[in-house]
Amino acid sequence: MECREAQKLIRDYMYGQLPADKKEDFVSHIRSCRDCYEELDIYYMVEVGLNGLRDDRLNNMDLKNRLEQELEDLETEVQQQRTNTFFRYSLLTLSYLAAGVIFLLQLRIWLLP
């Protein structure tokens, strides 16, 4: 993901509207790009600190820790999704294999005398 796209997504992220298929790229870009992290940091300070966004969760954690915690939560979510996808594909592959084996066994019954 490029900086321009990541910075466009910051607003979506802040409002919890980050598209599911962008989450992984977004968080890994934010983690690896200092400029975009700072951009997000500033946006976060303004939106959460000044405008009271998310004030349901306003507690004794300072803003930097909260942003850090949110990014970790997002990483965990992305990781879980990746694991789920892996298992889904594994199951799908296994069921195709099973269907193939069954078909071959059936073929043997049909063809052998």
Which C-beta is closer to Zn ion: that of 3 or that of 101?
3
Q: With binding defined as CB under 5 A, does residue 1 bind Zn ion? A: no
29 three-class SS = helix
Which C-beta is closer to Zn ion: that of 34 or that of 108?
34
From the CB of residue 27, how many other CB atoms can be counted at a distance below 10 Å? 24
> Of the candidates 13, 38, 43, 41, which has an alpha carbon nearest to the alpha carbon of residue 25?
13
User: What residues have CB less than 8 Å from 45, skipping those under 6 apart?
Assistant: 63
Which of 10, 14, 27, 36 is close enough to bind Zn ion by CB under 5 A? 36
d(CA 66, CA 62): 6
How many residues touch Zn ion under the rule CB under 5 A: the total is 4
Residues 53-112 that bind Zn ion (CB under 5 A): none
Which of 18, 23, 28, 33 is close enough to bind Zn ion by CB under 5 A? 33
Q: With binding defined as CB under 5 A, does residue 27 bind Zn ion? A: no
Q: With binding defined as CB under 5 A, does residue 10 bind Zn ion? A: no
Question: Where on the chain is the footprint of Zn ion (CB under 5 A)?
Answer: 3, 33, 35-36
